[in-house]
Amino acid sequence: MPPRRKLSNLDRVRAIGWLQDSVAARQVAPRLAVAPSVIIRLKQRFHAAGRVQERQRSRRPRVTTQREDRFIQRQAMQQRMATANNIRQRLQATTATLLLVVRRSETAYTTLA
């Protein structure tokens, strides 16, 4: 099953514009490479709320930053046999080193100023 494609705000606005110009949802959907049901739900949401932006969702807060996510992905690709625990330990060691460098540079900066 292919991954779901999210419509950007620009695509949502374009879809609503086409729908207001009397273009059928079944004709709009292929233009944006989504199912007609997506366009129909977008139209219903627009008429109910008056806007096309996605609503906020409550979800579990992120624990890692994007930088840490990239580090984890890179480590997993470089060392395919590494366990999650090994990658976590490397991440913690790298993050601790980075924090130490940042703190030292801040201390040096405040000492010089």
pLDDT per residue over 16-42, tens digit each? 999 999 999 999 999 998 999 999 999
Q: Is residue 3 part of a domain?
A: no
**Do 44 and 72 lie in a common domain?**
no
Domain extent at residue 83: 63-89
Kindly state whether residue 94 falls inside one of the protein's structural domains: no
| pLDDT < 70 positions in the chain | 1-4, 97-113
Q: What is the DSSP string of 9-53?
A: HHHHHHHHHHHHTT--HHHHHHHHTS-HHHHHHHHHHHHHHS--S
Residue 97 domain flag:
no
* Domain co-membership, 45 together with 21: yes
Q: Is residue 99 part of a domain?
A: no
Within this chain, do residues 13 and 35 fall inside the same structural domain, yes or no? Answer: yes
Rounded to whole angstroms, the Cα distance separating 17 from 38 reads 15
Whole-model pTM? 0.49
Domain-located, residue 38: yes
Burial of residue 83 (number of CB atoms within 10 Å: 0-12, 13-18, 19+):
exposed
Residue 78, Cβ density class (10 Å: 0-12 exposed, 13-18 middle, ≥19 buried): exposed
